[in-house]
């Protein structure tokens, strides 16, 4: 298991040196509390005061890569910077921060209507009109971003092209108000019946990623669909995706199995266009069948990150 000091040091290095997602001042210092909030989902069971204690341990090391500025009695105002190795252009940081935040907000805001909210109309294949989606999310009282429809379209085009894309854009007309969009997977709404491809490679090993807290419940009840139509698995050879799950979703436990073992127990295994393996059945999936092992449990990440 990775040492918590090493893990925190690893997680803060990119935002302090290379990424534009945490605001740096002219001396390359970041607010410590903002940095904590940025990496919060990547750390298991760490509150802010524990995070501060770890940062103090890291920066007190004579080989430390960081400088901690305790500039206020309230440690939420403390600042931290990487000593060297920066690639961030501070002149472009403000623009990049705003653009990234807008993309994150739009991706978050369109997820619910496309996957779960039956008040937004989609067809059987999950496609809905993009202009209607824009008007749907803009009327929400919590929606505060200011942008016009053309800007919305440009963000959607970018979201539909990124490697771990969640959405498919159908530019079926020169008029972008007639474009269609859908989420690849993750639906709970029963009116969506996407025809996914059946996975025929029975010898393929796939895994479900989870965290320590959720795994305690999984041991008792098995893998549950919750309110969704499928349980999600990933190809174990897709290292980039598993690294992403490890870094962004606290996935520290990986539950492995072969496609043929799932099929033998009556489960259907499909593959979506964005390379997620979808397992469906009327019931949840127990970890064992009559003491027969269906899954291999591995703790922590299997590759060096």
Q: How confident is the model at residue 301 (pLDDT cuts 50, 70, 90)?
A: low
Report the C-alpha gap between 303 and 272 in whole angstroms.
25
Hey, which of 11-25, 74-88, 120-134 has the most confident mean pLDDT? 120-134
In contact, 83 and 154? CB cutoff 8 Å:
no
Sequence-ordered strand ranges (E) for 229-280:
231-235, 253-258, 268-271, 277-280
* DSSP output for 196-238: PEEP--TT-EEEEEE-HHHHHHHHHH-B--TTSSSEEEEETT-
Q: Mean pLDDT score of the chain, rounded to an integer? A: 82
Task: Compute CA 288 distance to the chain's CA centroid, rounded to the nearest angstrom.
Answer: 28
Name which residue leads in pLDDT, 251 or 151: 151
Nearest in space to 43 (alpha carbons), one of 246, 215, 189: 246
Burial (CB count within 10 angstroms: exposed 0-12, middle 13-18, buried 19+), residue 253: buried
Q: Where are the alpha helices (DSSP H) in 18-140?
A: 32-39, 48-60, 90-115, 130-138
Q: Nearest CA to 188 among 113, 251, 132?
A: 113
Q: What is the pLDDT of residues 71-114, one digit of tens each?
A: 888 899 999 988 888 776 665 554 555 676 778 788 888 988 99
Show Cβ contacts of residue 58 under 8 Å, excluding neighbours closer than 6 positions.
5, 8, 9, 64, 66
Q: Please report, rounded to a whole number, the percentage of residues in the chain having pLDDT higher than 70.
A: 83
pTM here is: 0.63
- Give the three-state DSSP class for 123: coil
**Count of CB atoms situated within 10 Å of the CB of 213:** 12
Please, are residues 167 and 156 in contact by the beta-carbon 8 Å criterion? yes
What long-range pairs does 53-62 form, CB within 8 A, spacing at least 24?
Answer: 54/4, 54/5, 54/8, 55/8, 55/80, 57/5, 58/5, 58/8, 58/9
Instruction: Summarize pLDDT for 243-271 with one digit per residue, the tens.
Output: 777 766 667 788 888 999 889 888 899 99
| Terminal alpha carbon distance of the chain | 13
Q: Which fold has domain 4-82?
A: Arc Repressor Mutant, subunit A (1.10.10)
Output the pLDDT for position 65: 85
* Domains in the chain: boundaries: 4-82, 90-183, 197-299
287-301 burial by CB neighbour count: b if 16+ within 10 A, else e? beeeeeebbeeeeeb
Q: Which residues, including other chains, have CB under 8 Å from residue 171's CB and lie 6 or more apart?
A: 179
The SS3 assignment for 186 reads: coil
Buried b (16+ CB within 10 A) or exposed e, 90-119: eeebeeebeeeebbebbbebbeebbbbeee
């Amino acid at each position: 298991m990775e040492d918590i000091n090493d893990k925190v040091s690893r997680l803060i290095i990119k935002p302090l040196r290379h990424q534009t997602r945490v605001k740096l001042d002219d001396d390359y210092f970041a607010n410590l509390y903002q940095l904590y909030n940025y990496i919060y989902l990547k750390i298991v069971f760490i509150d802010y005061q524990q995070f501060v204690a770890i940062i103090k341990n890291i920066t007190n090391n004579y080989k430390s890569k960081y400088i901690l500025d305790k500039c206020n009695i309230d440690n939420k105002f403390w600042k931290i910077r990487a000593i060297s190795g920066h690639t961030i252009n501070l002149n472009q940081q403000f623009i990049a921060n705003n653009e990234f935040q807008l993309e994150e907000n739009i991706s978050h805001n369109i997820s619910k209507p496309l996957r779960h909210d039956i008040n937004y109309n989609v067809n059987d294949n999950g496609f809905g009109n993009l202009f209607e989606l824009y008007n749907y999310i803009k009327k929400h009282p919590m929606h505060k971003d200011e942008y016009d429809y053309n800007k919305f379209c440009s963000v959607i085009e970018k979201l539909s092209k990124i490697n771990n894309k969640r959405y498919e854009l159908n530019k079926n007309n020169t008029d972008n108000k007639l474009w269609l969009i859908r989420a690849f997977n993750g639906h709970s709404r029963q009116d969506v019946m996407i025809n996914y491809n059946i996975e025929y490679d029975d010898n393929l090993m796939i895994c479900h990623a989870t965290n320590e807290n959720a795994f305690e419940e999984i041991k008792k009840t098995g893998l549950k669909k919750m309110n969704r139509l499928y349980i999600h698995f990933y190809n174990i050879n897709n290292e980039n995706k598993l690294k992403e799950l490890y870094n962004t979703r606290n996935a520290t436990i990986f539950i492995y199995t072969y496609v043929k073992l799932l099929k033998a127990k009556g489960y259907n295994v499909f593959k979506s266009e964005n390379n997620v393996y979808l397992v469906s059945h009327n019931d949840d999936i127990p970890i064992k069948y009559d003491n027969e092992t269906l899954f291999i449990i591995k703790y922590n990440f299997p590759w060096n990150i």
